Amino acid sequence: MHIDWLRAQTAAFAEAATRVDLDKQVVTCPEWSVRMLVAHIGHSHRQAANIVRTGEPEQFRDPRTAEVPPDWEPWVRDGAEELADAVTEAGTKQVWAYVGQRPASFWLRRMLHDTTVHAVDAARTAGVGYRIPADVAVDGIEEALDVISAPGVEALKPDFVHLRGTGQTLQLRASEGEAWLITRTPAGPSWKRGETGSPDVTLLAGAQDLLLLCYGRLGLDDVTVTGDRELITHWLAHTAL
């Protein structure tokens, strides 16, 4: 499942990026060029594959200085295949991850959703349409929640300490029928699938838009907000991956 999704989203990224000059500024993250997006995707897949093979940490390359081959489109696609092969071979092996030891599949899922969001970046920059399949977007939302709520995640990003709370609740509701309840506790946030009780704030949108909101590609004006707007504004300000 995740392998097929990774292939599809990598292809979507490559197809969109070929439509625009590599030196063009990315409209959704202006500090990056399309060339940097290509470098990031191509190298990150390969470096994640190396983490899976060795089980050890890897320093991800800076896309501002990482090289991009002249014939970069097959190179990008080949990187996704390299990661898929490494994860398939690793099976249930435990490897290093940002949040402690995790199954090798952690990196397949992490790179899938990173690629998905950057495929949207490339499409918007090229001025072409995009669509994230609902099942991919749902999994992306849950992957982001898994990372944010993982024990020790504040070592990855100290800003996550601001996600602690005293029982405040936030609900994400996808128009496709899925819902997630997030609770901010003194130890950090926790989450579960489903609608429960009366949350302090609820966000309603399609799964694609909720995922893009989580990654800062959309704003609160792009979804329906019911309840404590200040609470969700604070949450989004400290949850960027």
Q: How far apart are CA 116 and CA 112, in angstroms?
A: 6
Q: Which CATH architecture has domain 140-237?
A: 2-Layer Sandwich (3.30)
pLDDT at 241: 67
Encoded tokens for 79 = 């990187």
Half-sphere exposure of 94 (CA within 13 A, CB side): 4
Domain 2-130: which CATH number of 2.60.40.10, 3.10.105.10, 1.20.120.450, 3.40.50.720:
1.20.120.450
- Summarize pLDDT for 72-82 with one digit per residue, the tens: 999 999 999 99
Q: How far apart are CA 151 and CA 67, in angstroms?
A: 35
pLDDT band at 42 (very low <50, low <70, confident <90, very high): very high
Is beta strand 168-174 parallel, antiparallel or unpaired with respect to 201-205?
A: parallel
pTM above 0.85, yes or no: yes
Where do the structural domains in the chain lie, given as residue ranges? 2-130, 140-237
Question: Residues 106-120: what's their mean pLDDT?
Answer: 98
